[in-house]
Structure 1
Amino acid sequence: MAKFSKLSALLAGAALAVAGTVAAAAEYTLIISSWAPPTHGINAKMWPKFTEMVEEATGGRVTTELKLGMAPPPAQPDLIMDGAADLSIIFHGYQPGRFTTTKLIELPGYEGSAEAASVAYWRAYEKYLKKADEHRGLKVVALHTHGPAQLHSNKKVTSLADMNGMKVRVPGGVGSDVADALGMTGIKVPAPKVYETLASNAADGVVMPFESRKGFKLTEVAKNVYEMPGGLYRGSFAFIMSQDAFDALPDDIQKALEEKVFGEPLSREIGKIWDEIDQIGRDATMEAGDNSINVASEADQAAFAEIAAKVRDKVIAEVAEKGVDAQAAYDMIKSEMAAYK
């Protein structure tokens, strides 16, 4: 059963009489569950953009209500399928064994912005990846990636060799594959827990995008960044919706959302926002005074390219086992990103 609420029109009495207008609330309110901190770009920028697009597409008939802390990140898909909320954002790496085809967008070596990657991701999903039906029971509203992930640590790391033996928080997915290939010991901790994980010295570092330096206050507990051009990996996310909640909406609203919001339009906007918040994180690092960014040497870049190629071959083989033309999907993502303007 859908969990959105249908609201009756509200009249503001004397104030409206003076204004000569009638203020009506939205007919439908979609409940959003989000696990990120309140000030994180997901909640401060992405969900507001989604709401803006939904309200515009439906002429104000549909709006949203954001609720935080309903469940931890890995529990979000089940929360939506159970009908406790209508929409959420999921990070596929938090669901080991549940999602495999999503690892294809996470591979290191792609060139381009999060916006370009997110658009390419949606197109490859529509043409190839959807066939695996890994989101069964859920309606996929958008797909996107974060920007290139880097190593953040208090210890100054200036080479790939320095990473060997480090105990590092990894997200799952390709991020974990890369950590293994670099000789790091991976610890799986959801993003909202990275600050305390580093502050307590439970890990030597974390591998995340630049956004996290602001969004998760890494400038305080991981004062050094080892930056590999193009990143060590990219993370895969989806905006998901309860199929029951969508089906309960009137046909004309469903049509408006499908044509103007869901899919590539929303994926593009979310990717664009991630590029913006990655820059905010980089700026916060530069402004901190006691933080540093150490760019990988050309020799390390060449060495990592060889490591990335082995990870890529492994992932393409895994995705192919799901009955997907993994090589064609990878080639499509790469070419779409290269051509994206």
Structure 2
Amino acid sequence: MTRLTRFLSGVAVAALVATAGHATETLTISSWAGPTHGINANLFPKLIEMMETATGGEVTGEIKYGLAPPPAQMDLILDGAADIAWIFHGYTPGRFVTTKLIELPGFTGNAEAASVADWRVYKEMFEKLDEHKGVKVIGLMTHGVGQIHTSKDVTTLADLNGLKTRLGGGVVTDVGTELGLVGIQVPAPKVYETLSSGAADAVAMPVEGRKSFKLTEVAKNLYEMPGGFYRGSFALIMSQEKFDSLSPEVQAKLESEVFGETLSRLAGQVWDEADAEGRAATEAASDNSIREASAEDIAAFTKISDKIRDKVLAEIDAAGADGKAAYEMVKSEMAKETK
């Protein structure tokens, strides 16, 4: 081998090593809602873009659908079948306790404010309890305030009594019990089918569902409680093993520029935008109606929400955190974020 051949060979090897060191890591993002849902259409594409920008193209992502039903998303990550997913805490009763705090009715602020506050309280008070054991929490989010959508006209709180209602789990289940709703649990993607078949009379969801899950067609009446009946608590999770496999430099970039409060805030913004679209779709549908709770019904529901709050704070205390202190922190952080 001549000196020139040896030199060129060395250059080729060095180039291969350099290329391998900067190979693109494509993360599999599992999602269970449809492609047009705000999380898939707006949040995940932005997340992919942010990861690419932060890491100089070393990390990207690909959204995949139908890998597992909604309640099995965390197990999907634990099994290594996907790298990133979003989970609704209420789909796995008993697995999460502290996540019910942000679901309580009565907090003032939109989904962005709630998502940011949720992340801050999690880092300050709840992370140590390790409720998401085995996975890395990269963001927390809540949807907009949940309301009741019905296939029949509802004018008072009392009209809800006895309605067969899809309840997602978590605090909304407690709310449903107090209101006399007959709870039906099906994943969000099955809501349209459940309502259209007559298996349910109503669904508890944020207003965004009127567009994303076509509630304007099967639940033409929206009954609104100021501040909502509840919120929904979600986590954006990542395989800890996959994260640990990334270089320390890439990990640091993702942590400082993408994950955590940054991603939580973005997610809340996406939910708020989706709520606005859902309300617009309702207002544009001539056969849809929006009913606001009366002063008497607001007062009656306040008593119910106080009762549920005390129950949840006691559960948080029993789990090993200070429920009242966490509740006050959520209120304070949401106030800071509410403009």
Q: TM-score range by the shorter chain?
A: over 0.9
Is 2:38 aligned against 1:41? Answer: yes
Letter in 2 for 1:173: G
Identity of aligned residues (%): 64
Alignment match of 1:114 (pick from 105, 111, 115): 111
Q: What is the CA distance between 1:141 and its match in structure 2?
A: 0.5
1:64-83 map, 5 Å? 64-83=61-80
Is 2:307 aligned against 1:306? Answer: no
Give the alignment's Cα RMSD to 1 decimal. Answer: 1.1
Letter in 1 for 2:267: I
Alignment match of 1:229 (pick from 226, 231, 236): 226
Is 2:249 aligned against 1:248? Answer: no
Secondary structure in structure 1 of the residue aligned to 2:82: coil
Q: Is the 8 A contact 1:121 1:333 kept in 2?
A: yes
Alignment coverage as a number of residue pairs: 318
Query: How big is each residue's C-alpha offset from its partner over 1:49-88, in whole Å with a ceiling of 9 and x where there is no partner?
Result: 1112111111121110110000000000000000000000
Aligned match of 1:239: 236
Q: Is the 8 A contact 1:26 1:63 kept in 2?
A: no
Aligned match of 1:87: 84
Secondary structure in structure 2 of the residue aligned to 1:64: strand
Distance 1:43-1:26 versus aligned 2 partners, 3 A rule = farther
Q: Is the 8 A contact 1:131 1:324 kept in 2?
A: no
Alignment match of 2:329 (pick from 315, 322, 332): 332
Query: How big is each residue's C-alpha offset from its partner over 1:191-233, in whole Å with a ceiling of 9 and x where there is no partner?
Result: 0000000001111100000010011000000000000011000
Letter in 2 for 1:53: M
Query: How big is each residue's C-alpha offset from its partner over 1:29-67, in whole Å with a ceiling of 9 and x where there is no partner?
Result: 000010001111111011111112111111121110110
Structure 2 unmatched runs, 5+: 1-14, 16-21
Letter in 1 for 2:311: K
Secondary structure in structure 1 of the residue aligned to 2:319: coil
Is 2:210 aligned against 1:213? Answer: yes
Is 2:131 aligned against 1:128? Answer: no
When normalised by structure 1's length, the TM-score is 0.92
Identify the structure with the greater helix proportion.
2
CA distance in 2 between counterparts of 1:198 and 1:292 reads 17
Letter in 1 for 2:305: A
Aligned match of 2:168: 171
Letter in 1 for 2:122: Y
Is 2:64 aligned against 1:102? Answer: no
Is 2:59 aligned against 1:62? Answer: yes
Aligned match of 1:14: none
Query: How big is each residue's C-alpha offset from its partner over 1:63-116, in whole Å with a ceiling of 9 and x where there is no partner?
Result: 101100000000000000000000000000001010111000000000001000
CA distance in 2 between counterparts of 1:59 and 1:289 reads 49
Letter in 1 for 2:134: G
Letter in 2 for 1:154: S
CA distance in 2 between counterparts of 1:156 and 1:53 reads 44
CA distance in 1 between counterparts of 2:49 and 2:155 reads 43
CA distance in 1 between counterparts of 2:53 and 2:292 reads 43
Letter in 1 for 2:190: K
Alignment match of 1:30 (pick from 21, 27, 45): 27
Q: What is the CA distance between 1:26 and its match in structure 2?
A: 6.2
Q: What is the CA distance between 1:131 and its match in structure 2?
A: 2.1
Letter in 2 for 1:89: W
Letter in 2 for 1:224: N
CA distance in 1 between counterparts of 2:160 and 2:126 reads 33
Higher mean C-alpha deviation, range 48-57 or range 192-201: 48-57
Structure 1 unmatched runs, 5+: 1-8, 10-24
Letter in 1 for 2:329: M
Any runs of at least 4 consecutive aligned residues in structure 1 with deviations exceeding 6 A, and if so which?
none
Which structure is larger by alpha-carbon Rg, 1 or 2?
2
